Amino acid sequence: MLSTLVLAVAGYQINATMLAPALPDVIERLDTTSGPAGLAQTLFFLFAAIGQVTIARLSDHVGRQRMLLATLGTLIAGEAVCALAPNIGIFVIGRMLQGVSSGTFSLAYLILHESLPPRRFGRALGIVTAVNGGIAGIDAVLGGMVADTVGFRGIFLASLLITAGATAAVFIWVPSTSAPSTGKMDWKGALLLGLGLTGVLLALNEGSSWGWGSPGTLGLLLGGLSALVLFSRVEGRTRDALIDTATLASRRVWPLLLTTVFTLAGVFGMLNFTIPLLTQSSESGYGMSATLSALLFLTPASALGIVAAPIAGHFAPRIGWRRSILIGLLGTAAAFLPLALAPRVPWVLFAALAILGVTYTGYSLTALTGLAVESAPPDKPGSLPGINGACFGIGSSLGIAVVSSVVTGITSGGPPTFEALHTALWASAGLVVLALLAALLIKPTPETGAQEVATAR
């Protein structure tokens, strides 16, 4: 069952990581520009955030296996659409379908939690979470190789075959259990939350290009925030709410969600924006090729994360999920210090990023996910893991928005300067410090705390 769930989440994950080095090929073959191609990536992560919330909660009503099969079917459809896309418009639709299927992660966590005892759950959770950081960095390198040989369509054909195999395996080896919740799905809440996330995430992603004070950016941001406020008011009056407002107000929940947002913002923006520019820029950085940069500075961190995440999951149930979050964030903050102090020294950069593979991918991501699963209300077990999964997308978008705005603001035309990239590293470090402060606010509870979360204050 564990191998099947790893295969299922890998089917989604490689659509996120393998395509990154193939984006120039997408632009060339679909005769488009970087703008629409970037929008396809933005919508992919946006629908990933929406899918995490909706699919996890819907599985409370229809059952985990059935929902996982439906999600993988949606992923196959998206992969087929992208593989056959004649233009960028059809390609964008395919990426949106693929993004929705990010719910495979939340479903995998819930299935493991309901099928395994706590100690075995922690180890299994770490294994699945490790895939969230990439497949030892090999997936990104393979994506570049496929793009260079057969083109981007080959990536989607390969991922389609993997997803088809995962679908068959889920049908055979994942148990079909009864739905844990009664009542009806809260579609009104799901719609308001989806609209809120859409407005906020699109504003964060497009603000640097549209202008932070532009009517489009402000309209999306204010509209999204208004929908989220309305969502919180509607949920308080809904019997089968997507998630109870009392749960969101708990000292064990809202600081956890803030911690997730700031952790992802600090590390994601650095890894996926600042580091590639720093290592590949010939004017302000190391002047490396994209392949060499990925092999030296991304692959080791991803590989160490695959080793560290199961270890973190093994010890977290013994020492506590909250304590594991603090350990991971303290290590992540410590790794950022040499990263920000000596970014011109390649071996310092290599060592700091390798440490992040242990502290961030290994400990932080595993512990944040584990505490979200453990803290969910017993009658709505899919609610909190889904919302926490959406916070991964919010944090990623926030991190990119912050560092890109810093670089754009300091660089006056032309390629990014070293000073701009250096400042962006410090900005990411500041977000990690905010994550650590938020984690300190998470209220520790007894081991029976999953049942007490609604009353913890």
3-state secondary structure of 445: coil
Residues 399-419 have a mean pLDDT of 78
- Higher pLDDT residue, 413 or 366? 366
The closest of 11, 334, 336 to 165, measured between CA atoms, is 11
Is there a contact between 269 and 403 (Cβ–Cβ < 8 Å)?
yes
Q: In the numeric block, which tokens belong to residue 366?
A: 């595993």
Q: Which residues contact 30 (CB under 8 A, 6 or more apart)?
A: 37, 85, 87, 88, 91
Contact 29, 78 (CB under 8 A): no
Residue that the structure tokens 């969600």 belong to: 257
- Rounded Cα–Cα distance for residues 184 and 241 (Å): 9
Per-residue model confidence as pLDDT tens digits over 368-403: 988 988 888 777 777 788 888 888 878 877 887 788
Two structure tokens written together for 236: 């308080």
Between 78 and 361, name the one with better pLDDT.
78
Read off the tokens for 59. Answer: 């599985």
Residue 365 in contact with residue 309, Cβ under 8 Å? yes
Reported as a pLDDT band with limits 50, 70 and 90, residue 414 is: low
- State the Rg of the chain over Cα: 21
pLDDT of 451 reads: 39
Please tell me the predicted confidence (pLDDT) of residue 238: 75
- Check: CB of residue 193 under 8 Å from CB of residue 228: yes
8 Å CB contact between 307 and 421? no
CA max distance for the chain: 60
Structure confidence at residue 449 as a pLDDT band (50, 70, 90)? very low
Residue 447: band (very low, low, confident or very high) from pLDDT cuts 50, 70, 90: very low
> Mean pLDDT, to the nearest integer, of 428-434?
95
List of residues 6+ apart from 329 with CB closer than 8 A: 259, 263, 359, 364, 432, 435, 436, 439
Q: Given phi > 0 = left and psi -120 to 50 = alpha, else beta, which region is 294?
A: alpha
Torsion of CA 436, 442, 444, 445, to 10 degrees: -150
User: pLDDT tens across 267-287, in order?
Assistant: 988 887 788 878 877 777 888
State the pLDDT confidence band at 452, using cuts at 50, 70 and 90. Answer: very low
* Helical ranges in 87-151 per DSSP H: 88-100, 103-115, 118-131, 138-149
Distance CA 207, CA 404 (A): 10
Q: What is the pLDDT of residue 397?
A: 74
CA distances from 352 to 43, 331, 337, 407 (A): 31, 10, 9, 21
Hey, what are 222's tokens? 């204010």
Taking only the tens place, the pLDDT of each residue in 95-142 is 999 988 988 988 998 899 888 887 788 888 888 877 766 565 667 667
Tell me what the mean pLDDT of segment 420-434 comes to: 93
For 46-57, the pLDDT digits (tens) are 788 788 878 888
Helix, strand, coil % over all residues of the chain, rounded to 5: 80, 0, 20
Among the ranges given (215-229, 333-347, 418-432, 438-452), the one the predictor scored with the smallest mean pLDDT? 438-452
* Torsion angle of C-alpha atoms 312, 316, 319, 321, degrees rounded to 10: 120
- Percent of the chain having pLDDT more than 70? 90
- DSSP letters along 227-257, please? HHHHHHHHHTT-TT-SS-HHHHTSTTTHHHH
Quickly state the pLDDT bin for 352 (edges 50, 70, 90).
very high
Classify the C-alpha dihedral 19-20-25-31 as positive or negative: positive
**The pLDDT of residue 453:** 39
Look at residue 331 in the predicted model and tell me its pLDDT: 94
CA distance 390 to 385: 9
Which has more confidence, 201 or 453? 201
Joined together, the tokens standing for residue 288 give: 């490396």
Residue type at 77?
A: A
